[in-house]
Amino acid sequence: MRLAFRVAYFGTDFFGSQVQPGLRTIEGDMAQACIRLGLFEDWREAGLAFAGRTDRGVHARGQVCAFSTTQPTRAVAKLNAVLPPDCWCTGWAAVDDAFHPRYRARRRTYRYYLYDPLLDEDLLREAAGCFPGTHDFSCFARLEGKNPVRTIHTTRIIPLEDFLVFEIEGESFLWNMVRCIASSLIAAGRGEMSADEIGRLLATGTGRHLPPAPPDALVLWDIDCGTAFAPMAPGNRREDALTEQRRRYASLKKVTDCLSIPHERGHPWE
Catalytic positions, please?
A: 55
Distance of CA 188 to the CA centre of its chain: 23
DSSP bridge pairs for 168: 110, 155
User: What is the C-alpha separation between 228 and 184, in angstroms, rounded?
Assistant: 35
SS3 label, residue 228: coil
φ and ψ at residue 153, rounded to 5 degrees:
-85, -55
Angstrom CA distances, 125 to 30, 109, 228, stand at 38, 17, 32
User: What is the C-alpha separation between 215 and 231, in angstroms, rounded?
Assistant: 28
Angstrom CA distances, 43 to 14, 146, 257, stand at 19, 27, 39
User: What is the C-alpha separation between 222 and 240, in angstroms, rounded?
Assistant: 23
Neighbours of 44 (CB within 10 A): 10
Q: Which stretches of the chain are assigned E, i.e. beta strand?
A: 2-9, 49-50, 59-68, 87-95, 107-114, 133-136, 149-160, 163-170, 218-224, 230-231
* Element housing 61 (H / E): strand 59-68
User: What is the C-alpha separation between 4 and 65, in angstroms, rounded?
Assistant: 6
Neighbours of 101 (CB within 10 A): 21
